[in-house]
Structure 1
Amino acid sequence: MTFLRLAAACALPLWLAACAVPRAPAPPEIVAPTQWYAPMPHGGRLADLVRWWRELDDAVLADLIDQAQTGSPTIAAAQARIAQARAARAASRAALLPSVDGAASLTRGNAQAPLPLATTAQVGAEAGWEIDLFGGRQYAIDAAQARLRSAEAGWHDARITVAAETAASYFRLRACQRLLEVSQGDAGSRAETARLAQLSADAGFTPPANAALARAAAADSAARLIQQRAQCEIELKTLVALTGLAEPALAARLAQTRTAIPGTLFGVAALPARVLAQRPDVFQAEQAIAAASAEVGAARADRYPRLSLSGSIRAGLVRTGGDTVEAQTWAIGPLAVSVPLFDGGRREANVDAAIGRYQEAVALYRGRVRSAVSEVEQALVAIDAALRRGDSVRTAARNFQAYFDSVEARYRSGLASLVELEDARRDLFAAQTAVVGLERDLQSAWVSLYRAAGGGWERDASALAAQP
């Protein structure tokens, strides 16, 4: 009868496991829009985003991006998070296996007088195993695996972010250099006009007020030139921080070429699902849901009984009264069942907290998908607007240049006033600035689209396996 009772007690957890296995929440369904509502560059054809930067035929930009990714602290931190996640997964897997510890002991004493003193030396091994009846340990492994996939996606996201930030900084610096050239030309022209106006006023051909106006215009242009040069220095230092290169070396590298950036760079897929599927941040949000779901299952499993088995084996010597006797012992057991009875609501609170984290992960995922769609749409709108206004901006600049040349010729012939010349020069400067601003906005929009489309990342391990 005693044996039957013991067997029934041992079988109780197995029976409970068959009746009530804790379940993890099912992942939510996210419905993405079926098409982009913003105009599509190139009619929506898909291009290889991995090679996009090198397809620009700008060796300086490609080298700077490689340099930035090689020495980026952001990418290094992402690699460290992958190592942490791998270690956590290994620890979770180890929890499913029995644990074995070595033990050694040496004692000397007597149990009771008048027994002689005894010396006992033993070495052995002790083993313990908690049987995963309700899948709590397996849920922990699933959560750790999801965290690892999330960390790997974070590494890809860091690569895309660093590349996009480097490209954006590079384009801003190039645009700033273009504006610096425009400002230098404007400042030189105004300084020459001020010199001629002063000579004319000194000779009595024009009133002194004309010379004062010319000097004021030249001083204003000189101030803008100083400000523009300072802005270029700031952009250069930003690029230094991103790439980790020394400023003199970077400045020399930038001076080697001035490659023009094309207006149209690449196309994206017409279906949002094809773009969202390659975004690392969206995949990270998916894995956060998977991990939170598994953690709910683990928390629920913690409310059920635990079944553990232990054992030991020892070999040693006992020396007493001048005699030495071998002492070898082994034991299997106990086979122990631990049933939660009262914990003040701790386990139930852990389940509620895990469910709350799961619901938070779902909400963040939905928000991330919405933001991803919005970012692509906004980038497409910005590109379309820049492309459509490009002809008008360039036409305006050409005509303002022609008008300024005509007014300047008439001014030198004495047929136009200085006020008329300065008005024409101001319009020309604004038009030239608008052209450079258009190119900068278009380049920035392309970089935003590259980032919004997930760069060149695909959901496989090939790129990750190649990392150093």
Structure 2
Amino acid sequence: MTSWLRWGLACTPLVLAGCALTPPPARVDTPTATVWHAPLPHGGAVDGLAAWWARWNDPLLVDLIERSQALSPTVAQAASRLAQARAAQQTARAALGPTLDGQASATRGFSEQLARVATTAQAGVQAGWEIDLWGGNTAAARAAGERLAGAQAQWHEARVSVAAEVALQYRGWRSCLQQLDVAERDAASRAETARLSDASERAGFTPPATAALARASAAEGRARAVQQRMQCEVDLKSLVALTGMEEPALRERAATAPPLPPESLMGLASLPAQVLAQRPDVYSAERDVAAASADVGTAQAQRYPRLSLQGSVGVGSVRVGGGSTEATTWSIGPLALQLPLFDGGRRAAQVDAAQARYDEAAALYRARVRQAVGEVEQALVRLQATAERRASADAAAQGYQTSLQATEARWRAGLASQVELEDARRTALAAQSALVALQLERESAWIALYRAAGGGWEPPAGAAQTAQTRTP
């Protein structure tokens, strides 16, 4: 009977080896459009995004982005998670192999067997190995590797996000300075008009009400310029806080206005799948699905028997008086088989929980893909709209400025009233401000497209091909 029991226990792993883990698929299909439905800003070429910020022809912007990425807590947090994921992968890989521990001890005392005082010393090495019968540990290592790849992509995503934030803040400050220049020139023009009106009133050629209107307009211009200056100072303080650059140095380097960025800063491939493949957040979400699939396999493996093997090698010595005795020992075993019999449904619940996490990761991945396509499409629409409005805005600003100059000449000749002059001035100011705002809107759309297209991050080889294969 003992012999049959021994053979039964030895053959149990072979019988159960027919059971295979059945985790859900590591990849899920996400139907996306085969082409973009918004106009593409190719500009005659399709360029990469790796050195995209250098194409703005503004070295200060590049420096500010590098500074902000070095100081950003978001990037630091992503780097910390990357280090943790790397450590978790090392831990999971270590579980696949045997463990080896060394120990040593020494004692001195009275030995009853020898009836004398003796010194005993021993040292040894103990080894243990859990045989991965069902691939549970392999699945855990695979999940850790997927999470490490996702953490690397998230680190890149954090850098892209910080770069976009700094660029928006910097270009907003530059635009504010342009608006301030318009406001100050307008305030100076209004002040000159008020001076001439006061002189004409004293000479008896201008009614007091008209002169009062000119002074009120000058006061309004000064107030608008002060308000605009305050907004520019606030934007500057925010930029200093983001980048850590000293404010005097930033002011000095920003004294020279950079040239406007090119009209076409980048192009997009015709297939959305190629853009989705270079989005670090989409890539990370895809890795989360694969990791969750492996977690299901790990949870399933916990429901099956576990086989482990241990062994040890040691040496020892006993010294009594002037003599000593040495011995070497070794052992292999025990070969232990652990059979899960009853756990109240705990292991089954763990499988259900892992499956639920997988379903959640798959849903989040599909949502991230749809969001990515939507963000690219929206940025393309904004770029196209700003391009179409630019010619009209230029023509409007130039026309209103010409009208203001003509009205001012007529006013000086006494052929136009003060009210007509101020109406023409306000219209011209609004057109110039709208032109500056449109330029900022276009730059913001370029930055949004840069971020939506992955920000120059390049996934591992094969990721783009995989994404294109999944696209119908």
Q: Please give the range of the TM-score, normalised by the shorter of the 2 chains.
A: over 0.9
Following TM superposition, by how much is the alpha carbon of 1:59 offset from its aligned partner in structure 2, in angstroms? 2.6
Alignment RMSD, CA only?
A: 2.2
The 10-residue stretch of structure 1 (61-70 or 219-228) with the greater mean CA deviation from structure 2: 61-70
Following TM superposition, by how much is the alpha carbon of 1:56 offset from its aligned partner in structure 2, in angstroms? 2.7
Task: Find the counterpart in structure 2 of residue 103 from structure 1.
Answer: 103
Task: Find the counterpart in structure 2 of residue 152 from structure 1.
Answer: 152
Task: Find the counterpart in structure 2 of residue 294 from structure 1.
Answer: 294
Which consecutive residues of structure 2, in runs of 5 or more, have no partner in the other structure? 462-472
The 10-residue stretch of structure 1 (229-238 or 330-339) with the greater mean CA deviation from structure 2: 229-238
Query: Residues 54-453 of structure 1: matches in 2 within 5 Å?
Result: 54-106=54-106, 120-318=120-318, 324-453=324-453
The 10-residue stretch of structure 1 (443-452 or 208-217) with the greater mean CA deviation from structure 2: 208-217
User: Given the two structures, how large is their TM-score scaled by the length of structure 1?
Assistant: 0.92
Following TM superposition, by how much is the alpha carbon of 1:35 offset from its aligned partner in structure 2, in angstroms? 0.9
User: Does structure 2 retain, via aligned residues, the 8 Å contact 1:372–1:452?
Assistant: yes
The 10-residue stretch of structure 1 (176-185 or 205-214) with the greater mean CA deviation from structure 2: 205-214
User: Does structure 1 retain, via aligned residues, the 8 Å contact 2:57–2:258?
Assistant: no
User: Does structure 1 retain, via aligned residues, the 8 Å contact 2:43–2:264?
Assistant: no
Letter in 2 for 1:194: A
User: Does structure 1 retain, via aligned residues, the 8 Å contact 2:104–2:123?
Assistant: yes
Following TM superposition, by how much is the alpha carbon of 1:109 offset from its aligned partner in structure 2, in angstroms? 7.0
Task: Find the counterpart in structure 1 of residue 469 from structure 2.
Answer: none
Following TM superposition, by how much is the alpha carbon of 1:154 offset from its aligned partner in structure 2, in angstroms? 1.3
Letter in 2 for 1:340: P
Task: Find the counterpart in structure 2 of residue 19 from structure 1.
Answer: 18
Supply the distance in 1 between the matched residues of 2:401 and 2:334 (Cα, whole angstroms). 95
Structure 1 residues 284 and 13: alpha-carbon distance in aligned structure 2, compared to 1, 3 A threshold: same
Following TM superposition, by how much is the alpha carbon of 1:113 offset from its aligned partner in structure 2, in angstroms? 9.3
Supply the distance in 2 between the matched residues of 1:53 and 1:114 (Cα, whole angstroms). 83
User: Does structure 2 retain, via aligned residues, the 8 Å contact 1:45–1:268?
Assistant: no
Structure 1 residues 396 and 273: alpha-carbon distance in aligned structure 2, compared to 1, 3 A threshold: same
Following TM superposition, by how much is the alpha carbon of 1:181 offset from its aligned partner in structure 2, in angstroms? 0.5
Structure 1 residues 203 and 291: alpha-carbon distance in aligned structure 2, compared to 1, 3 A threshold: same
Supply the distance in 2 between the matched residues of 1:42 and 1:122 (Cα, whole angstroms). 76
Letter in 2 for 1:268: L
Supply the distance in 1 between the matched residues of 2:111 and 2:75 (Cα, whole angstroms). 64
Which consecutive residues of structure 1, in runs of 5 or more, have no partner in the other structure? 462-468
Q: What secondary structure sits across from 1:311 in the alignment?
A: strand
Following TM superposition, by how much is the alpha carbon of 1:71 offset from its aligned partner in structure 2, in angstroms? 4.0
The 10-residue stretch of structure 1 (215-224 or 354-363) with the greater mean CA deviation from structure 2: 215-224
Structure 1 residues 404 and 257: alpha-carbon distance in aligned structure 2, compared to 1, 3 A threshold: closer
Supply the distance in 1 between the matched residues of 2:365 and 2:354 (Cα, whole angstroms). 16
The 10-residue stretch of structure 1 (213-222 or 53-62) with the greater mean CA deviation from structure 2: 53-62
User: Given the two structures, how large is their TM-score scaled by the length of structure 2?
Assistant: 0.92
Letter in 1 for 2:282: V
Task: Find the counterpart in structure 1 of residue 38 from structure 2.
Answer: 38
Task: Find the counterpart in structure 2 of residue 466 from structure 1.
Answer: none
Task: Find the counterpart in structure 2 of residue 50 from structure 1.
Answer: 50
Structure 1 residues 66 and 320: alpha-carbon distance in aligned structure 2, compared to 1, 3 A threshold: closer
User: Does structure 2 retain, via aligned residues, the 8 Å contact 1:263–1:443?
Assistant: no
User: Does structure 2 retain, via aligned residues, the 8 Å contact 1:45–1:269?
Assistant: no
Following TM superposition, by how much is the alpha carbon of 1:160 offset from its aligned partner in structure 2, in angstroms? 1.7
Aligned identity (percent) is 56
Structure 1 residues 95 and 114: alpha-carbon distance in aligned structure 2, compared to 1, 3 A threshold: closer
Letter in 2 for 1:422: E
Letter in 2 for 1:427: T
Count of residue pairs brought into register by the alignment: 460
Supply the distance in 1 between the matched residues of 2:62 and 2:2 (Cα, whole angstroms). 78
Following TM superposition, by how much is the alpha carbon of 1:88 offset from its aligned partner in structure 2, in angstroms? 1.1
Supply the distance in 1 between the matched residues of 2:114 and 2:197 (Cα, whole angstroms). 126
Supply the distance in 2 between the matched residues of 1:247 and 1:460 (Cα, whole angstroms). 40
User: Does structure 2 retain, via aligned residues, the 8 Å contact 1:56–1:261?
Assistant: yes
Supply the distance in 1 between the matched residues of 2:7 and 2:50 (Cα, whole angstroms). 62
Following TM superposition, by how much is the alpha carbon of 1:202 offset from its aligned partner in structure 2, in angstroms? 2.8
Letter in 1 for 2:74: T
User: Does structure 1 retain, via aligned residues, the 8 Å contact 2:397–2:432?
Assistant: yes
Supply the distance in 2 between the matched residues of 1:375 and 1:82 (Cα, whole angstroms). 26
Structure 1 residues 181 and 321: alpha-carbon distance in aligned structure 2, compared to 1, 3 A threshold: closer
- Any idea what the Cα deviations from partners look like across 1:345-375, whole Å, max 9, x if unmatched? 2211211111111111111111100110000
Supply the distance in 1 between the matched residues of 2:332 and 2:179 (Cα, whole angstroms). 83
Following TM superposition, by how much is the alpha carbon of 1:118 offset from its aligned partner in structure 2, in angstroms? 6.2
User: Does structure 1 retain, via aligned residues, the 8 Å contact 2:136–2:301?
Assistant: yes
Following TM superposition, by how much is the alpha carbon of 1:44 offset from its aligned partner in structure 2, in angstroms? 8.3
Letter in 1 for 2:430: A
Following TM superposition, by how much is the alpha carbon of 1:117 offset from its aligned partner in structure 2, in angstroms? 6.9
User: Does structure 2 retain, via aligned residues, the 8 Å contact 1:119–1:318?
Assistant: yes
Following TM superposition, by how much is the alpha carbon of 1:40 offset from its aligned partner in structure 2, in angstroms? 1.7
Following TM superposition, by how much is the alpha carbon of 1:119 offset from its aligned partner in structure 2, in angstroms? 5.4
Q: What secondary structure sits across from 2:269 in the alignment?
A: coil
Structure 1 residues 107 and 11: alpha-carbon distance in aligned structure 2, compared to 1, 3 A threshold: farther
Supply the distance in 2 between the matched residues of 1:400 and 1:222 (Cα, whole angstroms). 21
Structure 1 residues 45 and 367: alpha-carbon distance in aligned structure 2, compared to 1, 3 A threshold: farther
The 10-residue stretch of structure 1 (326-335 or 301-310) with the greater mean CA deviation from structure 2: 326-335
Task: Find the counterpart in structure 1 of residue 467 from structure 2.
Answer: none
Supply the distance in 2 between the matched residues of 1:32 and 1:209 (Cα, whole angstroms). 66
Letter in 2 for 1:205: F
User: Does structure 1 retain, via aligned residues, the 8 Å contact 2:316–2:326?
Assistant: yes
Supply the distance in 1 between the matched residues of 2:80 and 2:114 (Cα, whole angstroms). 64
Supply the distance in 1 between the matched residues of 2:44 and 2:262 (Cα, whole angstroms). 18
User: Does structure 2 retain, via aligned residues, the 8 Å contact 1:265–1:446?
Assistant: yes
Q: What secondary structure sits across from 1:205 in the alignment?
A: coil
Following TM superposition, by how much is the alpha carbon of 1:193 offset from its aligned partner in structure 2, in angstroms? 1.2
Following TM superposition, by how much is the alpha carbon of 1:401 offset from its aligned partner in structure 2, in angstroms? 0.7
- Any idea what the Cα deviations from partners look like across 1:233-256, whole Å, max 9, x if unmatched? 122222222322111111111113
Letter in 2 for 1:41: P
Supply the distance in 2 between the matched residues of 1:95 and 1:114 (Cα, whole angstroms). 44
User: Does structure 1 retain, via aligned residues, the 8 Å contact 2:56–2:260?
Assistant: no
User: Does structure 2 retain, via aligned residues, the 8 Å contact 1:263–1:439?
Assistant: no
The 10-residue stretch of structure 1 (62-71 or 219-228) with the greater mean CA deviation from structure 2: 62-71
Structure 1 residues 248 and 14: alpha-carbon distance in aligned structure 2, compared to 1, 3 A threshold: farther
The 10-residue stretch of structure 1 (443-452 or 114-123) with the greater mean CA deviation from structure 2: 114-123
Letter in 2 for 1:24: P
